[in-house]
A = this chain, B = another copy of it.
Amino acid sequence: MTQGIKIVTIGGGSSYTPELVEGFIKRYHELPVRELWLVDIEAGKEKLEIVGSLAKRMIEKAGLPIDVHLTLDRRAALKDADYVTTQFRVGLLDARAKDERIPLSHGVLGQETNGPGGLFKGLRTIPVILDIVKDMKELCPDAWLINFTNPAGMVTEAVLRYTDHKKIVGLCNVPIGIEMGVAKLLNVDHSRIRIDFAGLNHMVFGLDVYLDGVSVKDKVINLLSNPENSSFVKNIKGQGWEPEFIRALNVLTCPYHMYYYKKDEMLQKELKNFKDGTTRAEVVQKLEAELFELYKDPNLAIKPPQLEERGGAYYSDAAVRLISSIYNDKRDIQPVNTINNGAIASIPYKSAVEVSCVITKEGPKPIINGDLPVAVRGLVQQIKSFERVAAEAAVTGNYDTALLAMVINPLVPSDKVGKAILDEMLEAHKEYLPKFFQKVEA
């Protein structure tokens, strides 16, 4: 291998890429990236050109010797890679719009990660990820796969169960967002806050929270029972928990918990968006269009501040922080998706969990904090069952299994409704679901 690190970013034409590039620039002193390969598919070629040019300008401005490569040839990019990040969206935002709108048309939350929408996102994404892993086994078997692509929990579960590539980490900005939110609540610097995270992706809890190492959980829970403070992430801001409920729960929740503990209110809100044409996908489509207009400006050589509104705040920063900790064997603590191995007793031993880990050169190692509270084990188990059945459906292309995943999802109110949604979504996403349709055609 030549000097320096080779990074491959699949879905490199994503609007998030400038943040990632900014991350590499900021950490260049500890993470000497030599090559950054931005990979995309034919349909994303134009975006790749736009964002790739911006990336090159940013690096040039920073005066760093990082070579940026833009390519549609994934296998060429993967050859001898050190770290592969994935941030693609099969079917782009149009598919997300369907993931959200079709369930809503049946009066059901789409929830594009752990809900019916997430099921379809998984069905489209998992086969592609498994394909990437297959290429990696051949072209860069020692590389780490850092997966940002949602549903990150289901994707990590699928890679753990259906491949023998162990070097995968699933990454999400929700935990870091909670830390940031707590820091803001307490009016202290983020670096002074540490949280024991445990659960699943978008179903993660903060079992304890520390300020300078001393537990401040009671104080934080108390602050959280104030409706003003209940949500940490902008795009699904809620109305606040019932104080007695959050006090009895006695752990920090994540924003996605509102889909389960405030299902009705969330549904009403999203039905309104559905009617107004302002579902999240639709909002994001506009945001993205604006972002790419900005990116085109040949004078722009920094990450534009508007990107922060996109919703993926800290995402790429989290990724670069993770890669640097692996590369440098930092042994610091970061919350990531990895194999459970007993970290959470009530989750199957070999399943993916989202949990605070020590990040070493050999990857993340979960830290033990005891089991989840009894009260949340049921919901967590339910999402884990959903993830496992959904992953199986994605791998097999089996209709019955897909229906089963749909119906056991806690947002879906009945087998009949679930089947109606499933059938409509299968049809809508047909071109991205070859496993489900090739058999019919054969």
Contact = CB atoms under 8 A, between A and B. Distances in A.
A368 B343 contact: yes
A242 B403 contact: yes
Nearest to A329: B213
Interface string A202-213: 000000101011
Contacts of A399: 244
A414 B265 contact: yes
Nearest to A107: B264
A229 interface: no
Contacts of A403: 242, 244-245, 248
Interface stretch (A28-36, A286-294, A358-366): A358-366
Given A365-B368, A381-B377, A385-B374, A331 B333 contact: yes
Given A386-B378, A403-B245, A408-B375, A416 B342 contact: no
Nearest to A341: B368
Contact of A401 (B248, B328, B332, B379): B248
Interface in A343-366: 343-346, 348-349, 358, 360-362, 365-366
A223 interface: no
A180 B104 CA distance: 41
A385 B376 contact: yes
In the assembly, how many copies of this chain are there?
4
A263 B414 contact: yes
Nearest to A263: B413
A-side interface size class: 35 or more
A415 B262 contact: yes
A44 interface: no
Interface in A201-230: 208, 210, 212-215
Contacts of A404: 245, 248-249, 375
A385 B374 CA distance: 6
A435 interface: no
Contacts of A47: none
A346 B381 contact: yes
A299 to B, nearest CB: 42
Nearest to A196: B365
Given A248-B404, A262-B414, A381-B381, A388 B374 contact: yes
A269 to B, nearest CB: 12
Contacts of A418: 242, 245
A407 B261 contact: yes
A379 B408 contact: yes
A86 to B, nearest CB: 24
A249 B378 CA distance: 19
B264 A417 contact: yes
Q: Which 6 A-B pairs have the closest CB atoms?
A: A213-B329, A213-B361, A378-B382, A378-B385, A248-B400, A381-B381
15 contacts: A242-B407, A242-B418, A244-B419, A245-B407, A245-B415, A245-B418, A248-B404, A262-B415, A341-B371, A342-B344, A346-B381, A374-B388, A377-B385, A378-B382, A381-B381
Given A194-B360, A245-B400, A248-B400, 16 more contacts: A194-B331, A210-B329, A210-B361, A245-B403, A245-B407, A245-B418, A261-B414, A263-B414, A264-B413, A342-B371, A358-B358, A374-B385, A374-B388, A375-B389, A377-B385, A381-B381
